[in-house]
Amino acid sequence: MKEKILEMLRSEGDFLSGETISARLGVSRAAVWKVMQKLKEEGYAIESVPNRGYRLSEATARLCLSEIRANLPKYHPWRDLIQFQEDIDSTNTRLKLSASQGAPHGSVLIADHQTGGRGRRGRSFASPPNMGIYLSALLRPQCRPEELMHLTCAVAEAMVQAIEDAAGFRPGIKWTNGLVSGKRKLTGILTELSLEAESGCVDYAVIGIGVNCCQKLSDFPEELREMAGSLHMVTGGPIDRNKLAAAMVRRLCEIDQKLLSDKAAILDAYRKDCITLGQDIVLLRGEEKRYGRALDIDSDGALVVAFTDGTVGTVNSGEVSVRGMYGYV
């Protein structure tokens, strides 16, 4: 009922009487009043005037399902597959469990706070409340895993577009999955695949994305302050997290629709946004370090590197540091 009342208030644009709302929904005036109080508690600015009714003057700044859906077209294919939780251990962990139980393609789980957020290589991902967006999406592409080598690149490019849509600037991509502005990292992306035992084909892919939205520099742990950043630190203004979450869902859905059919175009766009290309890099694999220059992104999303020993190779895994970023000078 809450979402229906919000939709009515948005479409009316002016005052709407409690009597009208109760008649349209077939509920009591008392039930309408209780919903209005709940909406106010959630941060919605709702005016109430005797003999005139209720009017929505400002949407909530809190991350919430109704506002995310309100920022998507009514018949968007993933709109009704979005779930939201205030607090969660890990959106990826929970969505992987749902995937194993048959959750459909396009399922999305969004949280305001993670207690066990995960990044690449088993690292933790700081996910404080009221500061970011922590989103996981479930894909069920019917293909073999080698056809999805570019998946992380595709997701990174989708997030570049989503941030530009909602925050008004276009971040760069540090190969393979870090969105950056200047020398500061704004997002984390973790993609996880599960294969069918008999066929070896992909059963599902879960894409996890964390975006630093509202943090000031002092909000980050001291050890991260030289490298971490947020959308607010870039723009200097407030970040509408509900608008951004909707843009993330929309852009993920768009990239999913051409993931297998238009791979070349996705990687062309990725190359244009990848700040690693043309830079001196160091490749870290365990205790081994190799130095070189990033030349290109190949047709699978791997990094093509000219190493200082005279060889040219492709890099699919390992840590790649770019000169001038994250302590590599």
CATH of residue 46 = 1.10.10.10
First to last CA, the chain: 57
Picking from 58, 81, 102, the residue at the C-terminal end of a domain is 58
Token output for 115? 């207690």
Domain C-terminal end among 17, 32, 58: 58
Q: Are residues 192 and 258 in the same domain?
A: yes
User: Based on the domain organization, do 7 and 73 belong to the same domain?
Assistant: no
Model pLDDT, residue 124: 59
Whether 123 maps to a domain, the answer reads yes
* Residue 80, in any domain of the structure: yes
Q: Which two tokens stand for residue 263?
A: 């791979």
- CA 267 vs. chain centroid, Å, equals 19
Per-residue model confidence as pLDDT tens for the chain (329 residues): 888 888 888 877 788 888 898 899 889 888 888 888 888 887 788 888 888 888 887 776 789 898 899 899 989 999 999 999 999 999 999 999 999 999 999 999 999 998 876 655 556 566 778 899 999 999 999 999 999 999 999 999 999 999 999 999 999 999 988 999 998 999 999 999 999 989 999 999 999 999 999 999 999 989 889 999 999 999 999 899 999 999 999 999 999 999 999 999 999 999 999 999 999 999 988 888 999 999 999 999 999 999 999 999 999 877 888 866 655 43
The predicted pLDDT at position 329 comes to 37
Q: Tens digit of pLDDT for each residue in 289-329?
A: 999 999 999 999 999 999 999 999 999 877 888 866 655 43
Question: Do residues 163 and 268 both lie within one domain?
Answer: yes
303 falls within a domain = yes
Q: Are residues 54 and 107 in the same domain?
A: no
Global pTM reads 0.85
Per-residue pLDDT, 112: 94
Distance from C-alpha of 68 to C-alpha of 19, rounded to nearest angstrom: 28
pLDDT of residue 32: 87
Look at the chain and report how many structural domains it folds into. 3
In a domain, 329, yes or no: no
Q: Are 127 and 134 in contact (CB under 8 A)?
A: yes
Q: Tell me the C-alpha distance between 254 and 249, whole Å.
A: 9
Examine the domain organization and report whether 235 and 192 are in the same domain. Answer: yes
Residues 81 and 20 reside in one and the same domain: no
Q: Is residue 168 part of a domain?
A: yes
In this structure, the answer to whether residues 237 and 288 fall within a common structural domain is no
> How far is it, in rounded angstroms, from Cα 70 to Cα 66?
6
What is the domain-level CATH number for residue 305? 2.30.30.100
pLDDT at 57: 78
Domain ranges, residue 318 = 280-322
Task: Check whether residue 121 and residue 232 sit in a common domain.
Answer: yes
Give yes or no: residues 158 and 20 share one domain: no
Q: Pick the last residue of a domain from 38, 58, 78.
A: 58
DSSP 16: B
Residue 327 lies in a domain: no
Residue 30 lies in a domain: yes
Domain containing residue 128: CATH number: 3.30.930.10
The amino acid occupying position 152 is T
Residue at 312 is within a domain: yes
Residue 188 sits in the same domain as residue 162: yes
- Are residues 201 and 225 located together in one domain of the fold? yes
Residues 119 and 236 in one domain: yes
Torsion sign across C-alpha atoms 153, 158, 159, 161: positive
